[in-house]
Each structure stands twice: as structure tokens, then as C-alpha cells.
Amino acid sequence: MEKSSEGLMLWQKVGLFVVLSFPVVYIFMLVFSNQEKNVEKPSLTEKVLQIKLDNDSYKTGEKIVLTLLNISDRKIYFRKPCEGLPPLKVYSTKEDSKFLDVYTEKKCKSEFSIIDSEEKIKFSFYPELYKLLPGEGAYQFSFQYSKDRIDNNGVLTRHDILGIKEVSSKKITIENLLDKKNPSVDKKCETNNECEMRFSNCTCGFDCVAKNSQQIDCDRVCDESNFIQREMVDCGCMNGECTESEPKLSVEEEGYLEVKKVLDEYFRVEKECDKTSVLANMSRSSRKMVNLTCNNMKREVDCNGGAKMNFKIKDNSAVAYIYPLSYESDNPYFFLKEEGEWRLDLSEMAKNLTMKGGSCEGWTWRTNSSKEEFCFFFEEGLCPADNLK
């Protein structure tokens, strides 16, 4: 009995060793097999579709040639860019992982084109076609694509579009030369008759300058492929300077930067659906009357978030508006200074403005006195609302 007992104990020891060793061996095999799989696993951006750029940095007057290359063994369907310009993601620095905004010429239909295996498609354009005025920012072009057939006759929902894969280029920088284009051109004026639109090779477009100014143009010669196509705008004298119909913010307008910061922050947190921060940018009376939803906030950002606003301040009130003012474009925004801080005054806006229909369909004055509330910020005869019909 003692012998058999010892034999049983030895068997138990061997069995226990096998049982304990099996998980270790299994984990060892699993880790190394996964490592091997990870090495062989193809990257979607490297094994299917590539974006190639010649340089890491460009100047606004320099042509960018972007090559879209299918390096897979099958056809790829990619989303066609608007007006030949692919979407451009904007970062504050090259190291940022989150992009600030996406620039395109306009919103376009969800149309897809086929690119065959090993086929190249080239897009050539100039950075100023995006109307960029960058500082030390970084930029990245992107395309949406699918390995599965995309039927353009079908209706693609927003959910469908968001589910399509995306390939991005390497990050690049763009050195802005447009604001250095011609410091010797005189823009000083007293009347509208002293200003004119004049073509410039610096921008490949027209600039509003003083008629008697001497222009020293850029060395670059524009051709039809890089003209900036836009509607001719009014050119007149404003604040003693020849300017187009959308004037620059007046540096003499004391405090406008504080108001602009509030509006920019308001749109930013709306885009992120940060309801707490949105309310923090509103006046006390405004917070009591709003019912925030992510859909409503996104709609407002889509309609008004990209507009370039002008600001007028009087006492503890302010107004932001686009120029020229139009019932068909972005509505004015009113502000109130509370506790030493500027805040968006939605209660004043609700009292004076009425939105037309759904999103982005325009606005009008709520009452006859609403226009006077807006014109309160301007000198007599200079209110932009006087020209509205």
C-alpha cells in the first residue's frame, strides 16, 4: 500500500505540472502567433490606396500636385472631390492629432469614381484656392473610398457616408504669402470714387485698391489654370481704406476681439455638443429660454459657424453681422456684457429676429422696432439694415 501510495503521489505531481504548464505554453504560442499576424496584416492606407505629395511644405503661390494611387489588385471606388479640390483637414500644429476644421470649396453630392488597380489620378491646384490664411498650421488632404461597389443611383445616408473608409496624406505646411503680396499698394481713400478693382498676379484675382496707387506686382504670371474664380464684388471706401464688400474687422473697434472670442467659442462647443459650455457663453436670461439638442446645435454651426462676422459695440451691448447684410444669409448675433464678461444674448435675438422655415433658409425682423434695435449700434445713415428689402 505504501508503494502504490507513493506511485499515486508521483502521478499526481506529474499531472499537476502538465496542467500548470499548459496555460503558459498556450499564452506563449498565442502571443507569438498574433505578433506574426500583426506583421503580415495589410494596412488599408498602405496596401489599398495612397496619397502622394512631392513636398512637406508649400507656398500659397506654388502648385500642389496630389497623386491618388491604387496599389491594390482590385478596383477601388473613391468619393469625387468638389470642384476638383479634395477635402483639406486643418491642424493647429503638425504634432496635433485632432483637426480643427475641414475646408472644401462647397458641399457636393456623394458621387464616386472608379480607380483601377495600379492606376494614378492627379489633382493639381494652388493653396490659395482654399482661401487659406494660415499661420503655423498643418494641413492634410483626404479621400473617402470603398473596396465594394458604390451605386451612385442609390441614396447614401449620412450614416452610410460616415461608415466609408478614409485615406489621408502626410501632414504638410503652407507658408502664407498673400498678406505680404504688395505692401507698397496704397489703399487710403476718402470717397468710393477713389477706389477700383485691379488684377494682381500675387493672388491670381482682383483686389480693391486706390486708383492713384502704384502697384508692384508679384513675379508669378497667372494662367487660366490658377485664376481664383469668384463673383466681382463692390469696391469702395470704408474707414478710410479701399476695401471689398466684406470689410476687415476694424482695429479701432475697442473690445471687438473679446466679443469675437465668445462667438468663436460658442460655435466650437456647439460643434462638440458640449451643452454646459454652450450655456456658459449665454446671458443669464438666455439660459432660461433655450432647450439645447445636439441636432439643433450642429445645424446652427453648419449654417452660421463659418461666416466672417463684423462687430459693433456700444456701451454694454454688441452685435455681430455679416457684410453686406442680407435676409438670405447668416442672421445677426446680439451680445450683452454681464459681470464684466461678454455673453451671447439669445433673449434679445428672440425678441428681434424670426427664422424662416428650416435650417439655413434666412431670417427677418420680428417687429418694426427690431431694425431700430440693430441700427442702434451705427451712426445715422450708416446702418447696413437700411439697404435691406
- Residue-wise pLDDT tens digits, 285-298: 999 998 899 988 98
Residue 287 in domain = yes
Q: What is the largest CA-CA distance in the chain?
A: 122
Residue 312 in domain = yes
**Signed CA dihedral, 55, 56, 59, 61: sign only:** positive
Report the pLDDT value the prediction gives residue 139, as an integer from 0 to 100: 86
Based on the fold, state whether residues 163 and 94 are members of the same structural domain. Answer: yes
Distance of CA 351 to the CA centre of its chain: 31
Residue 109 in domain = yes
Residue 168 in domain = yes
Residue 328: all three cell numbers together? 438670405
Based on the fold, state whether residues 279 and 355 are members of the same structural domain. Answer: yes
Based on the fold, state whether residues 171 and 185 are members of the same structural domain. Answer: no
The band of 352, judged by pLDDT with boundaries at 50, 70 and 90, is very high
In the predicted model, what is the mean pLDDT of residues 289-309?
Answer: 86
Residue 22 in domain = no
Residue 44: all three cell numbers together? 488599408
Single out the residue in 223, 244, 265 at which a domain terminates.
244
Based on the fold, state whether residues 115 and 215 are members of the same structural domain. Answer: no
Residue 10 in domain = no
Single out the residue in 244, 271, 288 at which a domain terminates.
244
- Cβ atoms of residues 52 and 167 within 8 Å: no
Neighbour-count burial of 227, counting CB atoms closer than 10 A to its CB (0-12 exposed, 13-18 middle, 19+ buried)? middle
Q: Which residues form the domain of 202?
A: 181-244
In the predicted model, what is the mean pLDDT of residues 343-361?
Answer: 85
- Give the CATH number, domain containing residue 78: 2.60.40
Instruction: Give the number of domains in the chain.
Output: 3
41-63: pLDDT as tens digits: 333 445 788 999 988 888 777 78
Alpha helices for the chain (secondary structure H): 2-40, 44-47, 158-162, 256-271, 275-280, 284-287, 294-304, 346-352, 370-375
Based on the fold, state whether residues 382 and 261 are members of the same structural domain. Answer: yes
- Give the CATH number, domain containing residue 324: 3.10.450
Report the pLDDT value the prediction gives residue 26, as an integer from 0 to 100: 57
Based on the fold, state whether residues 210 and 299 are members of the same structural domain. Answer: no
Report the pLDDT value the prediction gives residue 205, as an integer from 0 to 100: 67
Based on the fold, state whether residues 269 and 378 are members of the same structural domain. Answer: yes
- Cβ atoms of residues 60 and 178 within 8 Å: yes
Based on the fold, state whether residues 82 and 158 are members of the same structural domain. Answer: yes
Residue 84 in domain = yes
Phi, psi of 313 (to 5 degrees): -125, 140
Report the alpha-carbon distance of residue 205 to residue 202 in Å, rounded: 8
The band of 107, judged by pLDDT with boundaries at 50, 70 and 90, is low
In the predicted model, what is the mean pLDDT of residues 92-98?
Answer: 74
Single out the residue in 221, 244, 267 at which a domain terminates.
244
Closest CA to 230 of 357, 83, 35: 83
| Residue 256: DSSP 8-state | H
Residue 239 in domain = yes
Query: What b/e sequence results for 159-190 when a residue is b if at least 16 CB atoms lie within 10 Å of its CB, and e otherwise?
Result: eeeeebeebebebbbbebbbeebbeebebebe
The band of 228, judged by pLDDT with boundaries at 50, 70 and 90, is very low
152-161, 168-177, 204-213, 334-343: which range is least confident on average?
A: 152-161
Based on the fold, state whether residues 90 and 165 are members of the same structural domain. Answer: yes
Closest CA to 255 of 312, 331, 322: 312
Report the pLDDT value the prediction gives residue 207, as an integer from 0 to 100: 75
Report the alpha-carbon distance of residue 342 to residue 264 in Å, rounded: 12
Distance of CA 225 to the CA centre of its chain: 25
**DSSP string for 119-155:** -EEEEEE-GGGGT---SS-EEEEEEEEESS---TTSP
